[in-house]
Amino acid sequence: MDERIMKETGKLGFGLMRLPHKGLGIDIEQTSKMVDMFLEAGGTYFDTAHVYPGSEAAAKKALVERHARESFTLATKLNASMLAVSATEKMAKKQFETSLERTGAGYFDYYLLHALDGNNYKRYEKFGIWDFVKENKAKGLIRHMGFSFHGTPEVLEMLLTQHPEVEFVQLQINYADWENESVQSRANYEVARKFGKPIVVMEPVKGGKLADPPEEVKKLFKAYAPDRSYASWAIRFVASLDGILTVLSGMSTIEQMKDNLSYMGRFEPFNEEEWAIIGKAMKIMGKVNDIPCTACSYCTGGCPQQIAIPDIFKAVNLQLGSGRLGDAKAAYEAAAPEGRRASDCIECGQCESVCPQGIPVIKELKRAAEMFE
């Protein structure tokens, strides 16, 4: 990838996965305000995906139709892994055309094969998606090609070896997952660096969990910088690593946007004291035995019982992470009405097949039923 692109892309990227909602749809008015704030602060990178409900259409209304095309860069993704088993190559490739129509962007600055791991990468090969993306890049419809990844470092190394045409990778990196055995943030980061690939970071705040870390971590951060948000520690940690193209933050409110821009508008890497503090936070987080759900909601779309799995897991974590028994019970009751409780799971396994965190969802739902029912 052109080094100029690395320098011109701001360290903060606007993730369009968790946009504010109004009623049943995305709040375009508030999203537009957030887009304007981001651009005015010098941000350029916007990230969406074909499978993010309403996101690409919102990008068209709040961004593409309101700002000059050269003033921003837009990334989206093709997801062949969440298609039904009976899906065809034509259905997979249709996503590219649909994304162009939804966004009205004309072309994509960054186009990714979505959520590759050891279980699904062969489907992208079977459908010829790698060559398909290269063909559209040659047509000028894609500027840079890459993929997002949720697998092991061994699979990542294999993919980067087999596909030298890849210009960047998107990885889940945060201080809680740095040495996590299932996510392997550090190991995957090191593979990408070995191949010299710029890295787009996803889940730097772990689906919002690191905006409200355990009390021991909060005390550690507050002792050093009382007025600094907990989220700022998470985002600045990954932004301080070498080789980072941008750090995606899935902002849902204007307040989150203001906070992120307050320290990322003029980004300063960690100093030695801050590196030492984040190292202590990593050790503390390694002791936390909660469910590593990031609330991506990939699991809910195909659930035949319509169980609100991320919300139920959030309730479980309230009890496991902080011992807030009353709040946890209330959160569970709100998330799990009759007929959609954890015990209503029929163990079909579709949720586990699409979970990027590799969570044993069926097992954790049984634990939730035991805790709350």
Convert the pLDDT of each residue in 256-271 to its tens digit: 999 999 999 889 999 9
Asked if residue 304 is part of any domain, the answer here is no
Q: What is the average pLDDT across 233-244?
A: 95
Does 158 share its domain with 214? Answer: yes
pLDDT reported for residue 87: 83
Question: Once rounded to an integer, what is the mean pLDDT over residues 281-301?
Answer: 85
Are 211 and 354 in a shared domain?
no
Provide the token pair at 148: 């997002």
The mean pLDDT of 130-146, rounded to a whole number, is 98
Instruction: Write the burial class of residue 107 (CB in 10 Å: 0-12 exposed, 13-18 middle, 19+ buried).
Output: middle
For residue 71, pLDDT over 80 is answered with yes
295 belongs to a structural domain: no
Phi, psi angles (nearest 5°) of residue 335: -85, -20
Same domain, 342 and 246: no
**Does residue 335 share a domain with residue 222?**
no
Asked if residue 106 belongs to a domain, the reply is: yes
Please check whether residue 291 lies inside any domain of the structure. Answer: no
Q: What's the confidence (pLDDT) of residue 39?
A: 97
Q: Is residue 257 part of a domain?
A: yes
Q: Is 342 within a domain?
A: yes
Residues of the domain holding 315: 309-372
The pLDDT assigned to 4 comes to: 57
251, 285, 319: which is the final residue of a domain? 285
The band of 136, judged by pLDDT with boundaries at 50, 70 and 90, is very high
Q: Quick one: 348 and 213 in the same domain?
A: no
Whether residue 104 sits in one domain with residue 9 = yes
User: E strand or H helix at 97, and its extent?
Assistant: helix 89-103
Stretch (H or E) spanning 365: helix 361-372
For residue 48, tell me if it sits in a domain. yes
pLDDT at residue number 324: 64
- Please check whether residues 276 and 346 belong to one and the same domain: no
**Tokens encoding 306:** 């319509």
Last residue of one domain, picked from the residues 285, 317, 346: 285
- Look at residue 27 and tell me if it is in a domain: yes
CA-to-CA dists, residue 158 to 20, 65, 126, 193, angstroms: 38, 40, 16, 14
162 and 45 in a common domain: yes
pLDDT number for residue 6: 59
pLDDT at 319: 78
When pLDDT is averaged across residues 355-366 and rounded to a whole number, the result is 92
User: How far apart are the C-alpha atoms of 314 and 46, rounded to whole Å?
Assistant: 27
CA angle, 136 then 109 then 43, to 5°: 170
Q: Residue 62: which CATH number?
A: 3.20.20.100
For 188-327, strand residue ranges (E) read 199-202, 244-249
Q: What is the pLDDT of residue 5?
A: 60
- Confidence check: pLDDT of 210 > 60: yes
Count Cβ atoms within 10 A of the Cβ of residue 117 and give its class: 0-12 exposed, 13-18 middle, 19 or more buried: middle
Whether the per-residue pLDDT at 100 is higher than 80: the answer is: yes
Q: What pLDDT score was predicted for residue 220?
A: 97
Same domain flag for 217 and 354: no
Tell me what pLDDT residue 371 has. 87
Tokens at 94, concatenated: 């249709």
Over residues 1-19, mean pLDDT: 79
pLDDT band of residue 3 (cuts 50, 70, 90) is low
249 lies in the same domain as 314: no
Q: How many domains does the chain have?
A: 2
pTM comes to 0.84
Mean pLDDT for the chain? 93
Measured at the alpha carbon of residue 210, what is the angle toward residues 208 and 213, in degrees to the nearest 5?
A: 125
Predicted confidence band of residue 322 (pLDDT cuts 50, 70, 90): low
Average pLDDT over residues 105-117: 97
- Say whether pLDDT at 204 is over 60: yes
For a pLDDT cut of 90, what percent of the chain falls above it?
A: 80
Residues 77 and 182 placed together within one structural domain of the fold: yes
Other beta carbons within 10 Å of 333: 12
More confident residue, 290 or 97: 97
Q: 323 pLDDT exceeds 60? A: no
Total count of residues recorded for the chain: 373
> How far is Cα 145 from Cα 82, in angstroms, rounded to an integer?
20
Same domain? 85 vs 166: yes
Over residues 326-343, the pLDDT tens digits come to 788 899 999 999 999 999
Q: Given pLDDT bands bounded at 50, 70 and 90, which one contains residue 180?
A: confident
